[in-house]
Amino acid sequence: MRYRAGLKTRTRILDATRDLVAERGLHGTTIKAICERAGILAGSFYNLFSSKEEAVLTVLREAIQAVEPSPEDAADIRALVSAYVRFVEDQEALARVYIEVAIANRVGDSILHSRMRRHHERRLEVFTAALDAAEVGEAEEMAELLLAALNGLALQRLIDRSYDMAGHAFKLLELAPQRPAVRADS
CA distance 150 to 46: 37
CA distance 119 to 63: 11
CA distance 18 to 12: 10
Q: Which residues contact 134 (CB under 8 A, 6 or more apart)?
A: 77, 176
| pLDDT one-digit tens code per residue, 25-84 | 778 889 999 999 999 999 999 999 998 888 988 887 877 777 776 777 778 888 889 888
User: Residue 103 CB: number of other CB atoms within 10 A?
Assistant: 13
CB 19 within 8 A of CB 31: no
Closest Cα partner for 52 from 37, 71, 74?
A: 37
pLDDT at residue 107 in the model: 41
Residue scoring higher pLDDT (132 or 26): 132
Q: Between 1.10.357, 1.20.950, 1.10.260, 2.60.40, what CATH number should domain 51-175 receive? A: 1.10.357
**Mean pLDDT, rounded, for 138-151:** 92
Closest Cα partner for 101 from 153, 13, 29, 11?
A: 29
The residues pairing with 8 across neighbouring beta strands, listed in sequence order, are none
| CA atoms 46, 48, 54, 56: torsion sign | negative
pLDDT at residue 179 in the model: 64
